[in-house]
Amino acid sequence: MTESLEGRGRYEISTETSRVDVDAVHAYLSRSYWAEGIPKAIVAQAVAGSLCFSLFDRGAQIGFARVITDRATFAYLCDVYVLEAYRGQGLGKWLIEEATKHPAVAGVRRFVLVTRDAQGLYEPFSFKIPVDSGRYMEIFRPTIYKQAAD
C-alpha cells in the first residue's frame, strides 16, 4: 500500500517508497550514532524491504522513519530523524504519530524501538521500557558497517 498522508502546510509525509530520496536518507544515517558509515546500498535495500515514512518540505526530504514489520504481529520502528534545521516544530512527533497509527501496524501485538536518548519523544506514543528487559536478547554488531568498508 502506498499513499501520501495529509500534509501540514508546506510539509507532507508519504509512505510511497518510490519517493524516498535514498541519497538524503543515506547522508543522514551515515553520520548518525546508530548507523554511522552505513553503505548507501544497504540503505536502499532497507528502504525496499520496509514500510517507510518520508517527511518532505515542498518535495525535499527532511525527515524519515522506517518500520520493519510482518504487518500482523510485530513492528520495529527505526531510523527516525528530522534534519536539525527543522527540529522544534513538532515534525518528529507527527512522523512518529503517522508511523504508529498506520493501518499496517496499528494493531500489532508488539511494537518496539531502540533509542539511546529520545525516550521522552516516544513515551507519549505509548512506548515504554520493557517490564522484563531480561527477556530481551540480541545479536549486536556495532562495527559491521566499518568492517564492510575495509
| Sequential pLDDT tens for the chain (150 residues) | 345 566 788 999 999 999 999 999 999 999 999 999 999 999 999 999 999 999 999 999 999 999 999 999 999 999 999 999 999 999 999 999 999 999 999 999 999 999 999 998 999 999 999 888 888 899 999 888 877 665
Q: Which pLDDT belongs to residue 8?
A: 81
**Cell of residue 150, nine digits:** 575495509
CATH: 3.30.30.60, 3.30.70.580, 3.40.630.30, 2.60.40.420. Which one for 11-149? 3.40.630.30
For the four alpha carbons of 136, 138, 143 and 149, in that order, the dihedral sign comes to negative
Q: Is the pTM of this model over 0.85?
A: yes
Q: Which residues of 108-127 are buried (b: 16+ CB within 10 A; e: fewer)?
A: beebebeeeeeeeebeeeeb
47, 83 in Cβ contact below 8 A? no
